[in-house]
Amino acid sequence: MSDLEPDQQCDRFAIHAAGLTRYFGDQLVVDRLDFCIPKGKVTALLGLNGAGKTTTIRMAMGLLDPTRGECRTLGENSRELSTRTLQRIGYLVEGHYLPGWMRVSALERFARSGRAHWDADRFRSLIEHFRIRSDQRVGRLSRGQRAGVSLACVLAADPELLILDDPALGLDPVSRRALNEALVEFAGGTTRQGAARTVLLSTHLIDDVERIADDIAVMIGGRLLVHTSLANFTTRVGRWMLHVDESGVSARFHRELHGLVEARRACGHWELCIANGDADIKAQIARALEVGGGEANASIEQMETSLNDLVIAYLSTEGSESFREANEHVGA
């Protein structure tokens, strides 16, 4: 399937996937993804291990061919990215190989060879930011410093599109902060040619997402269930608390709720997490209670919830039919 016209929408989107699908043997890992990563934004790709994030990223980078569907990266088919386009992309994957015997200065020379542009000042300021000296051997650096030197190699090439696959995995809090600082500053600027920078970042660290991302995309079981702004996500995915007379209401009343993510009973009340673009969730809960034999005037309150709690509730869903249907509303 190839729904995309050449260069269609490439002005607005850094990555544009249509029906992107990948099998490994008979195992379906990425299942008909349609998404557009807007230019100039930081998009966080979230999902449990095995949700298909890395496979998606590898297809967008042209490191892996899709079984079906197509991905256009900076306007080009990802199966055949030109060197010119690859020069505009920075790719950083956690724990990728760095030659330990090299000194940082030699690694810089190695990294800049073949690059159309190299910002030596940025490289220097980034390694200083991670407290690295250029005469240090790469093999002697701490894990956080190795992440810093990898990031410096990628950012000094002034990429327009930066793709990071779990860059903070295993980093201590100080290195993580240094990484976030570097990313915030980088994403807020423009390239030498004045193009807005785009960042796609896969991660499990919701606190970092809250700080640095504009948009979030959530993958569950190879499918993309949500792709929207952080603000929209927290508005439309909500936790609700219900005080209701237990005796009168069916224990399964919540099955009727459109977009239910999670329902649990806790000391005399119900806690529901609902993801639904429809505005009146409260009325929906009241109706479901009535159908379930309870009182429609039970107390129903929206609870204040952190992004972290919402994402955890969202990711732990079984992905029920009603949840999937409703989440078409939550999409961008």
Partner 1 sequence: MVAIHITTGSNTPIFQQIVAQVRAAIASGRWKVGDPLPSVRSLAKELVVNHNTVAKAYKQLLQDGLIDSHQGRGYFVAKRREIYTKAERVRRVRKLVQPLVSEAITLGLSSDEIVSLLKQELGKLRQSDE
Q: Which is nearer to partner 1, 127 or 206 (CB)?
A: 206
Q: How far is the CB of 206 from partner 1 (least distance, A)?
A: 7
Q: How far is the CB of 304 from partner 1 (least distance, A)?
A: 4
Q: How far is the CB of 175 from partner 1 (least distance, A)?
A: 13
H/E run at residue 68: strand 68-73
Q: Name the 3-class secondary structure at 16.
A: strand
Using only C-alpha atoms, the chain has a radius of gyration, in whole angstroms, of: 23
Cα distances (Å, whole numbers) of residue 235 to 175, 238, 275, 281, 283: 32, 7, 9, 11, 16
Q: How far is the CB of 198 from partner 1 (least distance, A)?
A: 13
Q: Which is nearer to partner 1, 211 or 255 (CB)?
A: 211
Q: Which is nearer to partner 1, 121 or 318 (CB)?
A: 121
Q: Which is nearer to partner 1, 98 or 307 (CB)?
A: 307
The DSSP line for 181-239 is HHHHHHHTSB-TT-PBPEEEEE-S-HHHHHHH-SEEEEEETTEEEEEEEHHHHHHHEEE
Q: Which is nearer to partner 1, 72 or 227 (CB)?
A: 227
Edge to edge, the sheet with strand 89-93 lists: 89-93, 161-165, 198-202, 42-46, 215-220, 223-229
Q: Which is nearer to partner 1, 212 or 298 (CB)?
A: 212
SS3 percent helix, strand, coil of the chain, rounded to 5, is 35, 30, 35
Q: Which residues bind partner 1 (CB under 8 A)?
A: 41-42, 177, 180-181, 184-185, 187-188, 206-208, 210-214, 230-231, 234, 304-308
Q: How far is the CB of 162 from partner 1 (least distance, A)?
A: 14
Q: How far is the CB of 207 from partner 1 (least distance, A)?
A: 4
Query: What residues form DSSP beta bridges with 174?
Result: none
How far apart CA 49 and CA 185 sit, in angstroms, is: 28
Cβ neighbours of residue 26 closer than 8 Å, sequence gap 6 or more: none
Q: How far is the CB of 280 from partner 1 (least distance, A)?
A: 21
Q: Which is nearer to partner 1, 104 or 206 (CB)?
A: 206
